[in-house]
Structure 1
């Protein structure tokens, strides 16, 4: 999926630690420490970013065991570039990857916050409730 503006370039690859942390914060996702980002990003199975004039303005990643389970995470678009379909391009790239590479029967999951559920539904994601509910445990170290 291409963007109509040629200044936006889809790049397949994990964002830098700096871009990752900045995009999470400016887009309203929870901040991640330098240490956490440095430890986690190398474990990315697949990632896509969008570059605008040499700046990373959107991203998304897939994490998991690369066989049975995949989770789509870190979908973030810089607010200055929202409303231009960049999130849709990133998600399409991630879904294309799992459709092409994940084994038969693989489980692909994500957590949809607010209206993002409508974007994900366009790619075939469905709520798992009431049979299942999403649950999380956040580790808080002082």
Structure 2
């Protein structure tokens, strides 16, 4: 396995997302979004993308952790922890006092994020979204 600090190709990104239970994105959206990542970590076995995660945001006040996904046949091997540790290392070096780092946690991944110090915003605030 090898770790690369760049986003995958849009088609590989979509394949991994769908296989991992996340939604498919249009290739246009994937190309734009991936190229605008603040940080990306991709894990490959040979030439196959098996895990990834990204950080997006403005690079100063707001950072959002997204696209944490591991190929189902590789889950349970600690790759989610590896991805999150790489992201935390990036955030530790690139955030400022008062920077806000957020993520949306699907169960059971919320337990992983808790291990890295993420806390629930509820009931003080509520996560919201709008999909186009």
Q: Out of 109, 112, 125, which is 1:116 matched to? A: 109
Return the offset for 1:105. 1.0
Using the alignment, how far apart are the partners of 2:124 and 2:21 within structure 1?
29
Q: How many residues align structurally?
A: 132
Q: What is the TM-score when the length of structure 1 is the normalising length?
A: 0.90
Q: Out of 113, 123, 130, which is 2:123 matched to? A: 130
Using the alignment, how far apart are the partners of 2:10 and 2:42 within structure 1?
13
Unmatched 5+ residue regions in structure 2?
A: none
SS at match of 1:60: strand
Return the offset for 1:54. 2.0
Give yes or no for the alignment of 1:75 onto 2:68. Answer: yes
Q: Which residue of 1 aligns with 2:18?
A: 25
User: CA RMSD of the aligned region, Å?
Assistant: 0.8
Q: Out of 90, 93, 99, which is 2:86 matched to? A: 93
Using the alignment, how far apart are the partners of 1:99 and 1:21 within structure 2?
28
Which stretches of structure 1, 4 residues or more, deviate above 4 A after TM superposition?
Answer: none
Q: Which residue of 2 aligns with 1:102?
A: 95
